Amino acid sequence: MTPFTIHPGQLSLADIEATLATDTHFALSEACQADIEAAQATIQGILDARRTVYGVNTGFGLLAQKRIPPEALRDLQTNLVLSHAAGTGPMLPDETVRLILLLKINSLARGFSGVRPVVLDYLLTLLNHNVLPQIPAQGSVGASGDLAPLAHLSCALIGVGNVSVEGTIIPATEALASVGLEPLVLEPKEGLALLNGTQVSTALALRGLFGATDVFAAALVAGAMSVDAAMGSDTPFDPRIHAVRGHPGQQDCAAAYRQLLEGSAIRLSHTACEKVQDPYSLRCQPQVMGACLDQMRYVATVLEREANAVSDNPLVFSDENDVLSGGNFHAEPVALAADALAVALAEIGALAERRIAVLIDTHLSGLPAFLVENGGVHSGFMIAQVTAAALASENKSLAHPASVDSLPTSANQEDHVSMATFAARRLGPMVENTATIVAIELLAAAQGIDFRKPMLSSEPLRQAHAHIREQVLFYDRDRLFAPDIEAIKNLVLQGAFSDTAFSVPTLAV
């Protein structure tokens, strides 16, 4: 196992992605222990002084005005977890649950939540032993935090519900015993600290961002291949054009297209051709993809910040002996970021689908109709483009912003909510859809480049072409198409086109 020390509040996106992709053993920095203990001591001091503080010795939501007697405080926390575990729908993937656990540990360990160190020990044990709570995907409106899904996570700590261990579903009590733990008895404030927070919506959005990053890289490579396959011009990528507009993403993407196409013999073969302009889907790639890159960078900034945030309520400020009730659980930043990423994904897919349409149209590309010889007998890429169009259209519906919707909950106490959890959850299907569209374009562009032989493309695009041909042979006659699409989609999602050899700009500004 690779060891990784969590320094609360200092996780980077690179840390998160790398640790979740490997067999990692997590530990908390010793430096955070004093803050955790100080916050818990503040809670104990409130109880000892018999002060009334929301979430510590009161009811919740609309019942916040009701004071709870000391003998009922443990029941209060347990009942909170059980009553809020009201989720529904399919279970979240194990990879997402691992990320939720990591984010929850990172947040609670900052020392503003008032939980005992043992709570963090339990969470770390679950994470390190891959004891992953079964969390239904539906049931959160993204304020007050991700209550229902985090309640299902918390159920595992108290020995309720089921967990996944190496893909096998077993009772939580059995799983706890297998790692040497008894069901945890929650003390005042701990149930609320576990349930409040944006970790589920943030984890879903982060997984969407990581997938979108690989799709974006593949779409850049596919777009450059399509330019060469269609014998398009590289003049629209001239840096002077993009410098006078000034958008950084646009300039970075134009530079990537220049590097991807540099040295192409196909391009050199038609520098003196009479064609004046290419279709927008070829010519305006830096403008469209650059705008998507700028959005993705904004999303990355928001999600990295939220991954390190303290988002439960109330918050404990032990230096001042204060417990303050606010609204950090409201996931509007995540909702808006997820909506922005959804729009970017839809545009990446829409542009790729249009380039496929150019390539299969012999009048626009100069290639055989539908990219196959002996057309009529063979239909070639005809229906593959229809599949791309269907997915691009589906993405348009999925891209409708979730954050503009709100339904009041808790008897109008919680009268504006973010819908961040759905905003983030729908990114998964959008990443799959867009990866499939880009895979079809990669197949089409590789086919087109093969038709340009003996002329060769650039070195980077020949590498990309080789990646494709290692998985899928030249389409010389009609055959079952779906496995070819699936094979290249898997390459896209595995990040095969994110390699530095392809000059793809990063999310760093």
With contact defined as beta carbons under 8 Å apart, do 297 and 212 qualify? no
CA atoms 7, 9, 15, 20: torsion sign: positive
452 HSE (CA, 13 A, CB side): 30
CA atoms 195, 111, 202, 22: torsion sign: negative
Q: Which of 54, 257, 280, 475 is catalytic?
A: 54
DSSP state of 235: G
| Joined tokens for residue 50 | 């018999």
Q: How far is CA 245 from the centre of its chain?
A: 30
Please report the beta strands in 273-430, taking only residues with DSSP state E, as ranges in sequence order: 315-317, 322-324
Angular region, 297: left φ>0, alpha ψ -120 to 50, beta rest:
alpha
Other Cβ atoms within 10 Å of 143 Cβ, number:
27
* Helix, strand or coil, per DSSP, at residue 493: helix
Cα 481 from Cα 382, distance rounded (Å): 11
Residue 54 bears catalytic tag? yes
With contact defined as beta carbons under 8 Å apart, do 143 and 329 qualify? yes
| Joined tokens for residue 39 | 């916050």
Largest CA distance in the chain: 87
Closest CA to 381 of 365, 392, 370: 370
Other Cβ atoms within 10 Å of 249 Cβ, number:
22
| Joined tokens for residue 498 | 């994110």
Question: Catalytic residue positions?
Answer: 54
